[in-house]
Amino acid sequence: TTTTTTTTTTASQACAQEPVDIVFVLDASGSVTQSNFDIAQSFVSDIVSSLDVSPSAIRVANMNFHSIPLPQFDFDDFSSAASASNAINNFVYPTDRSY
């Protein structure tokens, strides 16, 4: 008699074993408008608040841009989803930009 053992690894199991870095980029150019920036900002904040943000799981960073890059925070700046989400909610739509 031969016994065969099969181990199945799903994508979520494989990804759960390694830390992940995610950078969010928000367009803050004048053509986007304040109201659309607010929608995107809220969307990113909601996504971040649902993630397992920690130094050993998921690290997040954010960059806004218009005519120039506007770094908001780096991967090592926040160690919880709540603090990163709060920072995103506090982004200010810039008024000194090009269209």
**Residue whose tokens read 């994508």:** 11
Q: How confident is the prediction for the chain on average, in pLDDT?
A: 87
Instruction: Give the confidence band of 18 by pLDDT, cuts at 50, 70, 90.
Output: confident
Whether pLDDT at 34 is above 80? yes
Spell out a b/e string for 66-82, using b for 16 or more CB atoms within 10 Å of the CB, else e: beeeeebbeeeebeebe
Strand arrangement, sheet containing 58-65 = 20-27, 58-65, 69-73
Q: What pLDDT shows up at residue 3?
A: 67
